[in-house]
Structure 1
Amino acid sequence: MSNQTIDALNDVTKTLIDSQKGYEFACEQCDDSYRLRARFHQYANDRKELAADFQNEVRKLGGEPVTSGGTTGAIHRVLTEFSSLFRDDEKAALAAIDDGEDHLRSEIESKLERDQLTQQARELLQRAHASATEGERFADCMEDADA
């Protein structure tokens, strides 16, 4: 059970780190909007704390926690940066966040389907899922407000 739990937590940790970096990138893109910058900074900090909690749980289970994001997240940030050349920076950042939150939520849902998770891991995944769902709702609301 521990190895499956460790693998699940490490997989999501990579995506949480990518999400944190994505929100930090979005902060840089939205320098004219204090409201957006503050929210993006809040979400970046939330993801940093979640990633640290996931890493601590992996250590408790005797595993080695991941400390960097994945390749997919890096590619996504490059594509977002490229698309912002052709679109309003805030709109590009919001679209990227919406996509990233959807990816994070889907990944967590697939991990929650596993039977072999510890109760603590399941609770961490549920916290991360709630955070991703809230982040996606925020991005959707902001995109709708711009429409």
Structure 2
Amino acid sequence: MTDTTNKTDIDALNDITKVLIDSRKGYEKCAEIADESFGLRSQFQQRAKDREMLISRFQAQVRTFGGEPQTDGGALGALHRGFTQFASVFKDDKKAALEAIDDGEEHLANAIKDRLDKPELQSPSRDLLQEAYSSARSGEAFADSLTS
């Protein structure tokens, strides 16, 4: 493995880690504002825990490649959460939160797909990205099922 190959993998994994952190924070925010009807709070909490496990695995793989793992979310995620909080003042909190989750999961899936298009990614990175992609699509379907 060359340093260039590791750098490509480290960059891809760290880029997605930022978005995963934002996603985890989004689920945590939804858990805060969700009432316990229909078990939504526990579902949001579980999805946040699942994201935390993915984040830990991404960070461990970055360390394996000799890199410094990402520990903060992105500016876009912070902006999106801020907009969601602002929007929830004017709309039903639950609906705004679910729309934010749906948008965030779509953003995550698209970001992962962009990284998966890189043929030089090594197998461990590709496997993690595939798992995160499936998780994002599952999250998007979850949010869609609650808004329809």
For the superposition of Structure 1 and Structure 2, which TM-score range results when normalised by the shorter chain?
over 0.9
Aligned-pair identity in percent equals: 52
List alignment gaps of at least 5 residues for structure 2.
none
Other-structure match for 2:84: 80
Q: What does residue 38 of structure 1 align with? A: 42
* 2:52 aligned with 1:48: yes
* Counterparts of residues 56-135 of structure 1 (less than 5 Å): 56-135=60-139
Q: Distance in 2 between matches of 1:75 and 1:36?
A: 25
What do the CA deviations read for 1:15-66 (whole angstroms, capped 9, x no partner)?
0000000000011111343511111111100111001000000000000001
Q: How many residue pairs were aligned?
A: 144
User: How far apart in 1 are the matches of 2:17 and 2:49?
Assistant: 14
SS in 2 for 1:115: coil
* In structure 1, C-alpha distance between the alignment counterparts of 2:118 and 2:22, rounded to whole Å: 23
The amino acid of 2:17's aligned partner reads: T
2:145 aligns with 141
Normalising to structure 2: TM-score of the pair? 0.95
Specify the SS of the correspondent of 1:85: helix
CA RMSD of the aligned region, Å?
A: 0.8
- Cα distance in 1 for residues equivalent to 2:22 and 2:38: 23
TM-score (norm 1): 0.96
Flag structure 1 segments of 5+ consecutive residues without an equivalent.
none
Divergent runs of 4+, >3 A: none
1:44-103 CA-to-partner distances (Å, cap 9, x unmatched) read 001110010000000000000010100000010010001100111110110000000000
